[in-house]
Amino acid sequence: MALLAWPLEAELLPPPADDDNSTGAELGIPSPTRISVGGMSSGADFAVQFQVAFSETVMGAAIFAGQPYRCATHRFPNDTMMPPNPEVPVCEGCPSGKTLVYDHCKYKSSVVEARLLKTVAQNYASQGLIDSITYLERARVYLYRGTKDNIYEQGSVAKTRDFFAEFVPASQLLFKNDIPSGHGYPMPGSKPWPCGAEGLLSNIPFQNCDYDGPGAALQHIYGGGLAPPADKASLSKLKWFDQKPFYGDKDITGLARWGLVYVPTSCEAASSRACDLFVSFPGCGFTSYSTFVLHVTNLNFNAWAETNHIIVLYPKLASHGSTKQQQEGCWNVYGQTGANYATRDAPQMLAVRQMVKQVSNLKIWGTSSDSPTVSHARCNAYITIIILFAGMLS
């Protein structure tokens, strides 16, 4: 199969062992100027949360198949009540002993009422749990859903658009929903990832659809006028960074020991240039370092970042906790850490906010090789892992 025979272009050296206690060098770059976030699936859900909670700091979001703010745990008038379920540990408005249908905002989006979630955000802001919602008026939000997405049903991402439309001017919202992709990033180029394939391949996280979703998202967030992407992002600019300083209670945050950060040539310490920062949250299923690296290196955020002075931060989760969501490395948008999971001080939210604040001084390790050293055998193993994990993305 061509899909399984396709070789990777280069190899990123693995990070140190998780129990490595040596001290890495500081990244040593100026503090970023503008900050934006984005993600796919669970990562998109979390990007919505982060944009809303930290709207004073975050100027835009790229939402590739994501549900509205705090939607997963909110009871709407037409919701069906279910017996208790550890996957939905929090339900706002449910009677005692009842909870919601799991993933009701994805699969039963007709029940979702954006105006009610607007009230949730307003109430949180009035209590000081998130930034003032007036800051959302300046946000620029890109949303995407492929027409063949079988994880986020038709209408689900439109409800996320409707939520943001309660605060964000229409000219600053862009919803792309006419590309025939499955549940994944739509990509340009000739890589043999089919666009909108059937069966298991429908959920490959990057799909060749002759549409540059990451590029379109960044162009919208930054108001257009970005330079064309580099032909190839240099792997030597990708650095492993230590997430241990941001663990908090690791069993709750679920952070892996190592994440990745891409620093363009123009943003390196020697340049003294203050660059922008884009934080990219992967979806579920990227708990192994091999699948995480494939995710980071096959998307083209880095190619756009290289020519437009944008640092890209890739936080990583480990398998943790007791629920399916936690064990698959999904971001917490279901209340596993308590009812205030979508506020500024929630464990994962606070951890990522601290990463953003301290990005200039992240502890980094290692370099990478730009030579094509990956064997077909290793490539096949990695691709197989991606295919197996694709069915788990949510």
Give the amino acid at 302. Answer: N
Mean pLDDT value of segment 268-296: 92
Closest CA to 12 of 296, 387, 391: 296
Share of the chain above pLDDT 90, in %: 75
In this structure, the strands spanning 99-100 and 185-187 are: unpaired
Q: What is the pLDDT of residues 91-124, one digit of tens each?
A: 999 999 999 999 999 999 999 999 999 999 999 9
Sign of dihedral through CA atoms 12, 364, 33, 132?
positive
- 24 or 163, higher pLDDT: 163
Percent of the chain with pLDDT over 70: 90
Name the H helices within the chain: 2-5, 42-53, 104-107, 114-126, 156-165, 213-221, 250-253, 289-298, 301-308, 324-327, 347-357, 376-390
* Separation CA 104–CA 148 (nearest Å): 19
> Residue 245 corresponds to which tokens in the numbers above?
């300083």
**pLDDT tens per residue across span 203-251:** 889 999 999 999 999 999 999 999 999 998 989 999 999 999 999 998 8
Q: 11 pLDDT band (50/70/90 cuts)?
A: low
As beta bridge partners, residue 185 has 206
Treating both helix axes as pointing N-terminal to C-terminal, what angle do 301-308 and 213-221 enclose, rounded to 10 degrees?
40
Average pLDDT, the chain: 89
Q: What are the beta bridge partners of residue 363?
A: 26
Return the H-helix or E-strand segment holding 206. strand 206-208
Does this model's pTM top 0.85? My answer is yes
- Residue 322's pLDDT is 87
DSSP run (H or E) holding 82: strand 81-82
CA distance 205 to 183: 7
* 20-34, 54-68, 91-105, 309-323: the lowest-pLDDT one: 20-34
Distances (CA, A) of 117 to 14, 64, 165: 42, 20, 12
344-388 pLDDT, tens digit per residue, is 999 999 999 999 999 999 999 865 443 333 333 344 434 444 444
Strands (E), 99-152: 99-100, 140-144
